[in-house]
Amino acid sequence: MKLPFRERIKSGPILCDGAMGTLMDLYEYEELPHELQNLKNPDIVERIHREYVQAGSEIIESNTFSANRFRLSQFHLEDKLREINKAGVEIARRAAGDTVYVAGAVGPIGKLLEPVGRVTRKQAQDAFKEQIEVLLETGVELLMLETFVSVQELDEAISAAKELTDIPLIAQKAFAEDGAILSGSYPLEVVEHILSRGVDVVGANCTVGPQRMFGIIRGIHKEGVILSAQPSAGIPTLLNGRSIYHTTPEYLATYAKGLVESGVTLVGGCCGSTPAHIAAMAKSIKGLSVGKPAVKEKPKSVSITDSPRPISRHDDRSTFAKNIGKRFMTSVELDIPRGIDMSTVVEGARYLHQRGIDAINVTDGARARLRMSSIAISTMVQREVGIEAMTHLATRDRNMIGLQAELLGAHAFGLRNILCITGDPASIGDYPHASSVFDIDAIGLIRAVSSMNNGQDLMGNSIEQNTSFLIACAANPVANDMDAEIQKLIKKAEAGAHVIYTQPVYEVKDLERFLKRIENLHLHVMLGVLPLRSAKHAEFLHNEIPGMLIPDHIRDRMRHADHGPTAGLDIAKSFLKEAKSMIQGAYLMPPFQKYQIVDEFLEVIH
């Protein structure tokens, strides 16, 4: 008979099982989610559990890691949540018998939480409760919260579990950080935070192999803490769409022995591990006692959500950032051609620089059209001309890793002004079948840039040095749903935006109404000014471009104008002259490389 789990973990090392998905793939049951096999092929799931039991596992985890509402909804299986979780526990219990513990496996929801993503912490906690309730009803003996990258999300899973039960709770974070971070105090800070939530066992699993896992454990071991470690079987390679792991059972077993000797009580395997790995680990830890920690100085208490901000040695902000709010600023959007010849862009930027324009705007694949990288063009213009760029960056084409990599590269190239936008969907552009990424929206990107200005990436990991970006965002003063537009702006301001670049506006009363509603946000405003070219142009913008509003009297004036471009320019100049005292700058959008019309606006501005 088994001891109560809390007694068992005090009496020596205990071996958990290994990967479930890896075995499913080996059995050629690769259909996702793997948890669906609880219903379709329960005999295969049970066979895998039994193989781990035979290999020496004292704990097997139910095949329920991804069986929460958010993940199942990706496969339109949310209505099967109860059935899948119930079957997962029942299968594990049959395989475990009376000698092996059954842990209810609970993983992340697979979505970013606010403020980075759109899922609230309460929604996440409710999803965890929904799943854990089924696991408890079906008879799990402990809960295994695992592979959580976000400590905040792990907090919500712990809260959900503790609200529902007092059975043993294991909480494991996935440490995906690099060696510089892992060698510091961050892992111990995380562990101490998790321990403060009242869990029984705390540790790490997944994302890193045995050697890196060993380094993590050496950094978090302390007296009186029951630790767990479940490393992956190294780094996989991709072969025919399948992840292939290369770490041998013998290698993993060597580190399992070292982990136990370094203070780990619960040891097992994660991605890539098989019953062969677990069997080798069982032999390597047989007869061992859990090691004791070395005496080391306790790190200073630091909030894991508010890491110290690196100190800038000098003011590295752009000239634009230093001057906005002190004098009226001007910014002009460049017309970006197809292909690799950017000579017209450089010439246009040089013309504008000679006339004292403060910055040029470089769009990022506007309207989902294929154009050269905005960062490459901005760098080229700044180096060849000397005028600063306001670089647009859209979240459509890059995932979270790519966006942050682009930001680091932009800063290294000397770019300091970033306009964060969500971007138009790929379906309207040159490649309608291309994927739109949208890992995050403009608000999430603003938060990423703001985090980098504080020396961290989007997940709070140190980037060792803070960036100096001026963060701009977009807004539409004549949006159809102004309440929703203002709420988005509030979130952008909270995320760290400094400047608003507006959509084109044509009536002062619309601008006044907008400015009144955002006055408490204390954001600088660069007013969008787009001269109309013709009555046809006005009708196109008004009727076919989302968010554009050309008042009736202006469209009527354009219809009766003798010369459309002249009338459009006069309208824009008169509007800017009246609006100038209310804003901090003008964002001019000349048509078709006609940068010479900027001279007309400079007469109004100066």
State pLDDT tens for residues 273-283.
999 999 999 99
Beta-carbon-side half-sphere exposure of residue 140 (alpha carbons within 13 Å): 33
Three-state secondary structure call for residue 508: helix
293 domain-assigned: no
225 domain-assigned: yes
Q: Name residue 352's amino acid.
A: L
Number of domains, the chain: 2
Please state, rounded to an integer, the average pLDDT across all residues of the chain. Answer: 91
Range of the domain at 374: 319-532+580-605
Tokens 């097992």 identify what position? 268
pLDDT in tens, 453-505: 999 998 888 888 999 999 999 999 999 999 999 999 999 999 999 999 999 99
Model pLDDT, residue 293: 59
189 domain-assigned: yes
The CATH number of the domain holding residue 473 is 3.20.20.220
38 domain-assigned: yes
Containing 266, the helix (H) or strand (E) segment is strand 264-267
Q: Which two tokens stand for residue 599?
A: 């001279």
**Whole-angstrom Cα distance, residue 112 to residue 105?**
20
- Residue 593: pLDDT above 50? yes
pLDDT in tens, 149-165: 889 999 999 999 999 99
205 domain-assigned: yes
Residues 343 and 488 in one domain: yes
pLDDT in tens, 327-359: 999 999 999 999 999 999 999 999 999 999 999
Give ∠ CA 376-381-386 in degrees, rounded to 5.
140
Burial bucket for residue 28 (CB in 10 Å: 0-12, 13-18, 19+): exposed
Residues 586 and 490 in one domain: yes
CA torsion, ordered 119, 121, 123, 129, to nearest 10 deg: 140
Q: How far is CA 455 from the centre of its chain?
A: 16
Residues 142 and 280 in one domain: yes
Percentage of residues of the chain with pLDDT beyond 70? 94
Residue 162 zone, left/alpha/beta (φ > 0; ψ -120 to 50; rest): alpha
Beta bridge partners of 173: 148, 204
pLDDT in tens, 220-274: 777 789 999 999 998 887 666 677 888 999 999 999 999 999 999 999 999 999 9
Does the predicted TM-score (pTM) go above 0.75? yes
- Residue 296: pLDDT above 60? no
Burial bucket for residue 558 (CB in 10 Å: 0-12, 13-18, 19+): buried
Please say which residue of 237, 270, 285 terminates a domain: 285
- Residue 400: pLDDT above 80? yes
378 domain-assigned: yes
65 domain-assigned: yes
Residues 230 and 329 in one domain: no
Burial bucket for residue 445 (CB in 10 Å: 0-12, 13-18, 19+): buried
* Strand-strand pairing, 242-244 and 237-239: antiparallel
Which among 526, 578, 535 is positioned nearest to 554, based on CA atoms? 535
